A and B are shown apart, each in its own frame.
Chain A
Amino acid sequence: MPEFELFGSTGCPHTQEMREWLEWRGVEFVEYDVEADQAARDRMRALSGGQHTIPVLVADGKVVQIGWQGRGCAVSGE
Chain B
Amino acid sequence: MSACSIKVRGVVQGVGFRPFVFRLARANTLAGWVSNGEEGVEIVLEGADQNIETFVQELTAAPPPAAQITEIDVRAISPVGLDDFRIHESYRRDRPSTRISPDLPVCEDCLRELFDPADKRYRYPYINCTNCGPRYTVVLRLPYDRENTTMRCWPLDKFCAQQYAAPWDRRFHAQPIACASCGPGYYLKTGDEIVRGNEPSIRKTAELLVAGKIVAIKGLGGYHLACDAKDAAAVRALRERKYRKEKPFALMARSLEVAREIIELSPDSEKLLTSVARPIVIAPAKTDIPGAAPGSTELGVMLPYTPLHHLLFEVGAPEVLVMTSANRSSEPIAYEDSDALERLSAVADSFLIGERPIARRVDDSVVRAGTFGPVVLRRSRGYAPGAVTTFPTKRPILALGADLKNTIALVVGGQVLVSQHIGDLGEYRCLRAFHDAIRDLVSMYDVDWNELLIVHDRHPQYASTVHAQGLRASARRSVQHHRAHVASVLAERGEWEKRVLGVSFDGTGYGDDGTIWGGEMFVGSIKDGFHRIAHLRGAALPGGDAAAQYPVQAAAGFLIQVKDLPDLTSAPFSFPERYHDMQTLVSKGIRSFRTTSAGRLFDAAAALLGFTRAASFEGQAAMWLEQLARSANTTDAYAFPFDGEELDFRPLLREVARDRSRGRRATEVARAFQRGVAQGLAAAVSALCQANQIDTAVLSGGVFQNELLLEDLHSVLKSTSLAIWTNHEVPPNDGGISLGQAALAAFGRFDSETIEDAYA
Binding site for B on A (CB under 8 A): 1-5, 13, 16-17, 19-21, 23-25, 27-33, 36-37, 39-40, 59-60, 64-65, 67, 69-71
Contact = CB atoms under 8 A, between A and B. Distances in A.
Contact of B276 (A5, A60, A70): A70
Given A16-B97, A20-B97, A70-B104, A27 B66 contact: no
Given A20-B97, A36-B14, A25 B170 contact: no
A65 B95 CA distance: 22
A21 B97 CA distance: 9
Contacts of A70: 104-105, 107, 131-132, 276
Contacts of A13: 387
Interface string B371-413: 0000000000000000100000000000000000000000000
A30 B16 contact: yes
B663 interface: no
Contacts of B276: 70-71
Given A23-B93, A31-B89, 7 more contacts: A2-B168, A16-B97, A20-B96, A21-B173, A37-B14, A69-B101, A70-B107
A28 B95 contact: no
Contacts of B22: 28
Interface string B167-192: 11010110000000000000000000
B401 to A, nearest CB: 25
B130 interface: yes
Contacts of B131: 65, 67, 69-70
A31 B104 contact: no
B19 interface: yes
A3 B21 CA distance: 13
B130 A69 contact: yes
Given A30-B16, A70-B107, A64 B170 contact: yes
A25 B167 CA distance: 9
A27 to B, nearest CB: 5
B168 A23 contact: no
A69 B96 contact: no
B99 A17 contact: yes
A54 B542 CA distance: 57
Contacts of B101: 69
A17 B386 CA distance: 12
A27 B130 CA distance: 15
Most central of A25, A28, A39 by chain B CB within 10 Å:
A28
Contacts of A1: 167
21 contacts: A2-B168, A19-B89, A20-B93, A20-B96, A24-B95, A24-B96, A25-B167, A28-B22, A28-B87, A30-B19, A32-B14, A37-B14, A40-B15, A59-B168, A60-B168, A64-B168, A67-B131, A69-B104, A70-B131, A70-B132, A70-B276
B495 to A, nearest CB: 18
Interface of B: 14-19, 22, 66, 86-87, 89, 91-93, 95-97, 99, 101, 104-105, 107, 130-132, 135, 143, 167-168, 170, 172-173, 276, 387
Contact of A31 (B14, B92, B170): B14
Contacts of B167: 1-2, 4, 25, 27, 59
- Smallest CB-CB A-B distances: 8 pairs: A20-B96, A70-B276, A32-B14, A59-B168, A37-B14, A24-B96, A28-B87, A69-B101
Decide if the interface of chain B is mainly helix, strand, loop or mixed.
loop
B272 to A, nearest CB: 15
Most central of B14, B89, B130, B387 by chain A CB within 10 Å:
B14
Contacts of B14: 30-33, 36-37, 40
Given A30-B16, A33-B14, A65 B132 contact: no
Nearest to B94: A24
Most central of B66, B95, B132, B168 by chain A CB within 10 Å:
B168
Contacts of B16: 5, 30
A21 to B, nearest CB: 6
A30 to B, nearest CB: 5
Contacts of A36: 14
Contacts of A29: 87
Contacts of A25: 167, 172-173
B92 A3 contact: no
A40 B13 CA distance: 11
A24 B91 CA distance: 12
A59 B93 CA distance: 23
Nearest to B104: A70
A71 B386 CA distance: 12
Contacts of A2: 167-168
A60 to B, nearest CB: 8
Contacts of B15: 39-40
Nearest to B105: A70
Contacts of B87: 28-30
B104 A21 contact: no
A28 B131 CA distance: 20
A33 B87 CA distance: 17
B506 to A, nearest CB: 31
A19 B92 CA distance: 9
Contacts of B91: 19
Contacts of A21: 96, 173
Contacts of A28: 19, 22, 86-87
A24 B93 CA distance: 8
Contacts of A24: 95-96, 143
B665 to A, nearest CB: 48
A31 B18 CA distance: 9
A51 B99 CA distance: 27
A36 B99 CA distance: 26
Contacts of A37: 14
A17 B91 CA distance: 12
A25 B168 CA distance: 12
A2 to B, nearest CB: 5
Nearest to B95: A24
